[in-house]
Structure 1
Amino acid sequence: MMSDTVAPFEMPTWDPCPFCEIVAGRGEMRHVIHSTDKTLALLNPRQFEIGQLLVIPRRHAPTILDLTDDEAGEIMKTVRRAAEALVKTFNPDGITVYQNNGVASLQEVPHFHVHVVPRRKSSNWGSGPPHIAALQPKDGSLKQKVTVSWERAEEIASIIRPNFKTI
């Protein structure tokens, strides 16, 4: 369990860190959309809006306060490229970019990550960030509703990948 944060926040607990597992090649790599020496962009298994991506640093950093300036800059470059790829792929009405730090902010995985979500005016999720922890009924039905199969996730990933600009 990695709890090496400088942030004074209560953090979610996962052991091992699922994003570190992906970075190490032990996780679900087939949903990685784009990779740089410092970042990964991957398909979120929970698709509130089809195409929802996550951008993570390769190094384990629990919160924004744990990132180096270089990592923060590289993450934002990847976030911008993710947004460009989503616009080219889905022609959405907008893009929501959000990030949470600590349990109180609804962070679910103790590894910094940015959500990049293509949005439609006709969305069922309203105009704010579509976040499972905030919207989940006690019966768990929402999580089940938005979690896509591995096959569907790969289908979505395969249509986004060609639109991701590499520099």
Structure 2
Amino acid sequence: MHDDHACPYCDLAELRRNAFVLENDHCLLSIKPSETGALEGAGIIVPKAHRPTVFDLTPQEWTATQDLLMQARAYLDAVIAPDGYNAGWNVGAVGGQHVMHAHFHVIRIPFISPTIRNVTGLPAPRPEPVSLLLAPLGLNGLCSPFNRSPYYSSIPG
């Protein structure tokens, strides 16, 4: 049997505290202020019932997650107007899941730079973090298989 007191995402009151919250019968979205400001507007969608991974969700929880994701996007588009989003699940410790209660990450991507443009004239997607780390060392060619997309054509290096 699961001990709800050991799981921080089973504590719905804590997820609601000092947060922007949307919820339905099966899931809850919590967007808390960022402690560092780096992930302002980032949030998680969790099933209200304890489910260890995304593979344990019921069909109703899948639908409820999608409903909250669309509401979160509308809210963040109106309030923050990000250039894009990272959204997804981490599964298991090796997959990056640190809290063993299924949670869907909704992370807004801010505008990067008015000088970085892709071939369509629109702001380019962020380069891979590996590219950013290797570029100052003159080693960004190691990431060339990842940067062959025309969308990366104007990123220096």
Which TM-score band (shorter chain)? 0.5 to 0.7
Higher relative contact order (CA 8 A, sep 6+): 1
Matched, 1:113 2:103: yes
Amino acid at match of 1:2: H
Q: Which residue of 2 aligns with 1:36?
A: 24
Rg larger for? 2
Displacement after TM superposition at 1:71 (Å): 0.8
Match of 2:81 among 81, 91, 97: 91
State whether residues 61 and 112 of structure 1, in contact with CA within 8 Å, keep that contact through their aligned partners in structure 2: yes
Q: How many residues align?
A: 114
**Whole-angstrom distance in 1 between the partners of 2:88 and 2:69:** 10
Residues 1-167 of structure 1: pairs in structure 2 closer than 5 A: 2=2, 16-22=6-12, 25=13, 27-30=14-17, 31-44=19-32, 46=34, 48-122=38-112, 126=126
Q: Which residue of 2 aligns with 1:142?
A: none
Query: CA-to-partner distance for each residue in 1:21-62, whole Å, 9 max, x for gaps?
Result: 22xx3x252225112111111025655421101111101001
Structure 1: tracts of 5 or more residues without a match:
4-13, 130-167
Question: 1:40/1:63 Cα in 2 relative to 1: closer, same or farther (>3 Å)?
Answer: same
State whether residues 5 and 11 of structure 2, in contact with CA within 8 Å, keep that contact through their aligned partners in structure 1: no
**Whole-angstrom distance in 2 between the partners of 1:65 and 1:34:** 23
Q: Which residue of 1 aligns with 2:119?
A: none
**Whole-angstrom distance in 1 between the partners of 2:32 and 2:99:** 12
Which secondary structure state, in structure 1, belongs to the residue aligned with residue 106 of structure 2?
A: strand
Which secondary structure state, in structure 2, belongs to the residue aligned with residue 56 of structure 1?
A: strand
Which secondary structure state, in structure 2, belongs to the residue aligned with residue 34 of structure 1?
A: strand
What TM-score do you get using the length of structure 1 for normalisation?
0.59
Which secondary structure state, in structure 2, belongs to the residue aligned with residue 19 of structure 1?
A: helix
Q: CA RMSD in A?
A: 2.7
State whether residues 87 and 118 of structure 1, in contact with CA within 8 Å, keep that contact through their aligned partners in structure 2: no
Amino acid at match of 2:25: D
What TM-score do you get using the length of structure 2 for normalisation?
0.63
State whether residues 92 and 119 of structure 1, in contact with CA within 8 Å, keep that contact through their aligned partners in structure 2: yes
